[in-house]
């Protein structure tokens, strides 16, 4: 670990029904806060901006292809903003 890349830790945290009920009894801690503390949720939130940028890039490419292909081609894809 001192000489190389550290292994990424992936949380196995799962919010269960009983845990939710117990959290609701404790007013100082909200369910949303508990979920945000989860490793997997934290990793998902960190990846969100990159994923949103990828979606925008792909939508842009699809729009360019639709312009080149002309009317009627690719109409099954749906209207993109």
- 79 pLDDT above the threshold of 60: no
Work out the average pLDDT over 61-69.
88
Whether the Cβ atoms of residue 10 and residue 40 lie closer than 8 Å to each other: yes
- Which pLDDT tens digit goes with each residue over 22-51? 777 777 767 677 776 666 667 777 888 899
- 10 pLDDT above the threshold of 60: yes
Work out the average pLDDT over 5-27.
74
Per-residue burial over 50-66, b if 16 or more Cβ lie within 10 Å, else e, is: eeeeeeeeeeeeeeeeb
Boundaries of every domain in the chain:
17-69
- 7 pLDDT above the threshold of 90: no
Can you give the pLDDT at residue 1? 52
């Amino acid at each position: 670990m001192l000489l190389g890349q550290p292994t990424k830790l992936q949380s196995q945290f799962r919010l269960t029904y009983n845990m939710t009920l117990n959290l609701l009894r404790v007013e100082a801690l909200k369910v949303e806060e508990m979920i945000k503390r989860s490793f997997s949720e934290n990793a998902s939130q960190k990846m969100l901006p990159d994923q949103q940028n990828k979606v925008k890039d792909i939508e842009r490419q699809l729009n360019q292809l639709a312009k080149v292909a002309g009317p009627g081609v690719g109409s099954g894809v749906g209207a993109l903003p």
